Amino acid sequence: MSGELTGLDTFPKLLMHHARARGDRPAIREKDLGIWQTWTWAQFAEQVRLCACGLAAQGLRRGSHIALISDNRPRLYAAMAAAQCLGAIPVPLYQDAVAAEMVFPIQNAEIGFAFAEDQEQVDKLLEILPQCLSLKRIYYDDPRGMRHYAQPELMAYEKLIELGREAHRRDPSFVENEIASGAGDDTAAMFFTSGTTGVPKGVVHSHASLIGPSLTAARLDRLGEGDVILAYLPPAWIGQNIFSCAQAFVTGYCICCPESAETVMTDMREIGPTYYFAPPRVLENLLTQVSIRMEDASRLKRWLYRRFMDVANRVGGAILDGKPVPALDRGLYWLGDLVVYGPLRNVIGMSRVKVGYTAGEAIGPDLFKFYRSIGINLKQLYGSTETAVFVCVQPDGQVKADTAGPAVPGVELRFTPERELLIRSPGLFREYYKNPEATRQAKDPEGWFHTGDAGYFDQDGHVKIIDRVKDVGRLADGTLFAPKYLENKLKFFPYIREAVCFGDARDKVCAFINIDPEAIGNWAERRNMPYSGYTDLSARDEVYELVRECIERVNADLSAEPEIANSQIHRFLILHKELEADDGELTRTRKVRRGFIGEKYGELVSALYAGKTSVHVEAQVRYEDGRTGTYSADLKIRDAKVFTPAASQRAA
């Protein structure tokens, strides 16, 4: 493959190469009026050429920026590549952002050109036009509802292509010359980080920093022109850009755009992608749908499903990893594949998935195992906008539920004494746009990028990310204390809704637990336990027992990890109320605000550490009918069993 790509150091050069080398192969597909329509690589290149001529005629110049606000559509990708042909820099923006959020990027990069998907996006741009004086031209893809718009800034994409056609006729070699004068070090694209804290930052990537990692990862997974991907995540997210653009341009595989956001499931089934990416929440929703459908199935089917899922749980992962498995189990699994796993993969559109990735947040081990056990090669990776996604990737046969995998070839990793992960790689961003201060902070003079993520290497050399560095503390004995890591482990149990762990600068870890009222309520009903609500359930001994079992399983897990074995949870209590964003205990994105909770419930924390077995609370509670009252009771505090760390067992 490398031979084929020698000298092709920019995306437009790659595109023109594919147009020559595999002109008849499908490049990009979209379902239109119920039928999948295809652009071959030759047609795609032709479209890009005309679009580039049109944009040039309209005044888009080398080095200037163009905003792209659209869902995954062939024309979005054409416009993006067209801008790159001219040496202009595409800046994809999140299509679900509100108008005000688009002001900063447009002002920051002095954007003069914009590509908008439809009336909705055009309306947003027109709304902020008075604040964005640089914005002069807006091209829209879908003309629906645009008939009565007369703003001079607006132009339909078709019209742009028409202008391009004329310009192309006048100067047929223009685009080729422009492409030839581009180089790998030129800026290829700019991605704005979502910026939950402070203003967003524009992350600048060169062609080289996007092509390099894309190529390495594509080789690792042996991707080629026969592969197919469904592009369904926001194009403004670098991951989508890598999977549905950079890697397609590197390997020549086919990008498919769903008909609409709601049809993704159906489109998956129709397309049958061979390469797939999904954040854990998508995988979780999918599994929930499967479970619900199974509940409604006939008794025989439910029995078959349960039986064969047991088999899959036991041996599916091992078979996928190519590990030895007894012949009988292998036979059973084969049978299961025939009646359960195969049809199931088909229903969720994953029959042809060769490689699937998940990343972005911690994935529950059961969830991860489910997909692997039915024969879907789901793996994990680690990366960020600044590192062009591929930093760590789990190679086939070395897949684990709780690591990000070893470093991708060409990437250097190291951990600071504070456990922060530092990265040096060919995929590193060049700078934050017009923000040298932030660039200096993130990237040191030796070229190490400070991720802000804390973690360590496990026994097999896989990177394990546990928390953000700023949240990681130390126990009194110096053991690493990563509260989010512990809390996530607890939350993977269906019975636990939220958990808050304390332990920084203390001798042991203790936890507040919020039970999941639905799951526990269900559990109670099945046991014929009457209860009145959350507060009642949370005080039951049986529930404490249930939670204790969960915690002890987490402790057993932790004892196997020498780095954090001492951060096992010694004592816990179940909070008498659910943590609420309205009370400031959670952020709006439902993350626990540990510091605030620790202060608000200071008495409970001290009781945990003082070794008491109960603590008196008096609090305002809101009943389900909306009335409020005072709740006063003794909260129980229970101990959980802790396990001797595996490392010291071995030593002993």
Partner 1 sequence: MSAARRAGDVILSVQDVSLAFGGVRALQEVSFDVCEHEIRAIIGPNGAGKSSMLNVLNGVYHPQQGKIRLRNKEFADMDSHQAADLGIARTFQNIALFKGMSVLDNLMTGRNLKMRCNFLQQALWLGPAKREELEHRRAVEEIIDFLEIQHIRKTPVGRLPYGLQKRVELGRALAAEPAVLLLDEPMAGMNLEEKRDMCRFILDVNDHYGTTIVLIEHDMGVVMDISDRVVVLDYGRKIADGSPDEVRGNQSVVDAYLGVAH
Contact between 148 and partner 1 (CB under 8 A)?
yes
Q: Pick between residue 148 and residue 627 the one whose CB is nearest to partner 1.
A: 148
Residue closer to partner 1 (CB basis): 33 or 610: 33
Nearest approach in angstroms of CB 264 to partner 1 is 9
By the rule CB under 8 A, 260 interacts with partner 1: yes
Q: Is the distance from CB of 451 to CB of 422 less than 8 angstroms?
A: yes
The region of 133-141, 256-264, 380-388, 411-419 touching partner 1 under the rule CB under 8 A is: 256-264
Return the number of the residue (34 or 152) whose C-beta is nearest partner 1.
34
Is there binding between residue 624 and partner 1 (CB under 8 A)? no
- 119 part of the interface to partner 1, by CB under 8 A: no
Residue 86 CB, nearest distance to partner 1 (Å)?
A: 32
| 90: its two tokens | 């595409």
Q: Does 147 bind partner 1 (CB under 8 A)?
A: yes
Q: Which residues contact 197 (CB under 8 A, 6 or more apart)?
A: none
Query: Could you tell me the sign of the dihedral formed by the alpha carbons of 45, 47, 52, 53, in that order?
Result: positive
State which residue, 24 or 296, has the beta carbon closest to partner 1. Answer: 296
Q: Which of 278, 197, 283, 242 is nearest to 468 (CA)?
A: 197
Q: How far is CA 301 from CA 307, 377, 439, in A?
A: 10, 25, 57
Residues 31-50 close enough to bind partner 1 by CB under 8 A? 31, 33-35
User: For residues 33 and 651, which CB has a smaller minimum distance to partner 1 in the complex?
Assistant: 33
Do the beta carbons of residue 129 and residue 135 sit within 8 Å? yes
Q: How far is CA 363 from CA 189, 205, 368, 514, in A?
A: 30, 29, 7, 20
Q: Taking the CB of residue 470, how many other CB atoms lie within 10 A of it?
A: 10
Least distance from partner 1 to the Cβ atom of residue 268, Å: 13
| Contact pick of 58, 194, 266, 435 for partner 1 (by CB under 8 A) | 266
Spatial separation of the C-alpha atoms in residues 265 and 260, rounded to whole Å: 10
Q: How far apart are CA 473 and CA 467, in angstroms?
A: 10
Stretch that binds partner 1, among 70-78, 139-147, 318-326, 556-564 (CB under 8 A): 139-147
Residue span 520-559 as binding mask against partner 1, x where in contact by CB under 8 A, dash where not: ----------------------------------------
Instruction: Provide the minimum distance between the beta carbon of 119 and partner 1 in the complex, in angstroms, as a whole number.
Output: 11
Given the complex with partner 1, which of 263 and 644 has the nearer CB atom?
Answer: 263
Q: Which of 458, 452, 491 is nearest to 472 (CA)?
A: 452
CB of 73 to partner 1, least distance (A): 14
Size of the site for partner 1 (CB under 8 A): 13
| Closest approach of partner 1 to the CB of residue 205, in Å | 34
Output the smallest distance, CB 33 to partner 1, in A: 4
Rounded least distance, CB 35 to partner 1, Å: 8
The residue (of 145 and 226) whose beta carbon lies closer to partner 1 is 145
Measure the CA–CA gap between 597 and 591, rounded to whole angstroms.
12
Task: Report the 10 Å Cβ neighbour count for 532.
Answer: 9
Q: How far is the CB of 150 from partner 1 (least distance, A)?
A: 11
- We find the least distance from the C-beta atom of residue 293 to partner 1, in angstroms, to be 13
Q: Are 158 and 151 in contact (CB under 8 A)?
A: no
d(CA 570, CA 557): 14
Contact with partner 1 (CB under 8 A) among 46, 259, 396, 458: 259
> Binding residue for partner 1 (CB under 8 A) from 37, 263, 632, 644?
263
- The nearer residue to partner 1, 162 or 270, going by C-beta atoms, is 270
User: In this complex, which beta carbon is closest to partner 1, that of residue 263 or of residue 289?
Assistant: 263
Name the strand (E) or helix (H) holding 38. Answer: strand 35-40
Phi/psi at 402 (5° precision) = -120, 20
Which residues does residue 92 pair with via DSSP β-bridges, in sequence order?
Answer: 68
HEC sequence for 339-373: HHHHHHHHHCCCCCCCEEEECCCCCCHHHHHHHHH
Q: Which is nearer to partner 1, 121 or 274 (CB)?
A: 121
Q: Which residues are 407's β-sheet partners?
A: 392
Going by DSSP bridges, is the β-strand pair 392-393/412-415 parallel, antiparallel, or unpaired? Answer: unpaired
Structure tokens at 31: 């379902």
The DSSP bridge partners found for residue 515 are 496
Q: Is 150 in the site for partner 1 (CB under 8 A)?
A: no
* Nearest-approach distance from CB 263 to partner 1, in angstroms: 5
Residue with the two structure tokens 């905003």 = 67
The number of angstroms, rounded, from the C-alpha of 96 to the middle of its chain's C-alpha atoms is 17
- The answer to whether 270 contacts partner 1 (rule: CB under 8 A) is no
145 binds partner 1 (CB under 8 A): yes
Closer residue to partner 1 (CB): 119 or 313: 119
Residue position matching structure tokens 């790689």: 425
Stretch that binds partner 1, among 27-35, 347-355, 570-578, 590-598 (CB under 8 A): 27-35
Based on the shown chain and the rule CB under 8 A, indicate whether residue 329 belongs to the binding site for partner 1: no
Supply 433's token pair. 């746009």
Q: How far is the CB of 491 from partner 1 (least distance, A)?
A: 31
Separation of alpha carbons 53 and 79, rounded Å: 11
* Pairing mode of beta strands 113-116, 65-69: parallel
C-beta of 262: minimal distance to partner 1 in Å?
3
SS3 per-residue string spanning 396-458:
CCCCCCCCCECECCCCEEEECCCCEEEEECCCCCCEECCCHHHHHHHECCCCCEEEEEEEEEC
Select the span of 144-152, 337-345, 359-367, 502-510 touching partner 1 (CB under 8 A).
144-152
Shorter beta-carbon distance to partner 1: residue 145 or 195: 145
Stretch that binds partner 1, among 254-262, 571-579, 628-636, 638-646 (CB under 8 A): 254-262
Summarize as ranges the residues that interact with partner 1 (CB under 8 A).
Answer: 31, 33-35, 144-145, 147-148, 259-260, 262-263, 266
